[in-house]
Amino acid sequence: MSIEKELEELIAKIVPSKDIAGGFMSRDQIIQLIRKVATDASLIGYCHAEKLTRERMDKKLTVIEQELIIIKEQLKDAEIELIATIK
């Protein structure tokens, strides 16, 4: 799910219902609401960043594994050439 969609869902959960929309909130309620929104939005961003980091690291690991296979094959070829020159 995209960050935008998750944030929209978060906003939809927190927005007061239409019949209360014109109501009053105390200063403490507003502070509590802002703190909850900021915390939840930060967690959504953090989760997405972790997912992207994991995907990026998986790609890097795949490339490194492929390079290792190539190096092993080159080493094997070099060993065979060395054996052939010794005989």
Domain parsing of the chain, residue ranges: 3-15+23-86
CB 53 within 8 A of CB 19: no
The pLDDT confidence band at residue 10, using thresholds 50, 70 and 90, is: confident
pLDDT of residue 16: 67
**Residue 44 and residue 14 in contact, taking contact as beta carbons nearer than 8 Å:** no
pTM of the complete model: 0.57
pLDDT digits (tens, 9 = 90+) for 33-73: 888 888 888 898 999 999 999 999 999 999 999 999 999 99
Q: Distance between CA 24 and CA 7 in Å, rounded?
A: 24
Helices (H) and strands (E) in the chain, counts: 2, 0
pLDDT at residue 36 in the model: 85
Cα separation, 71 vs 73, in Å, equals 5
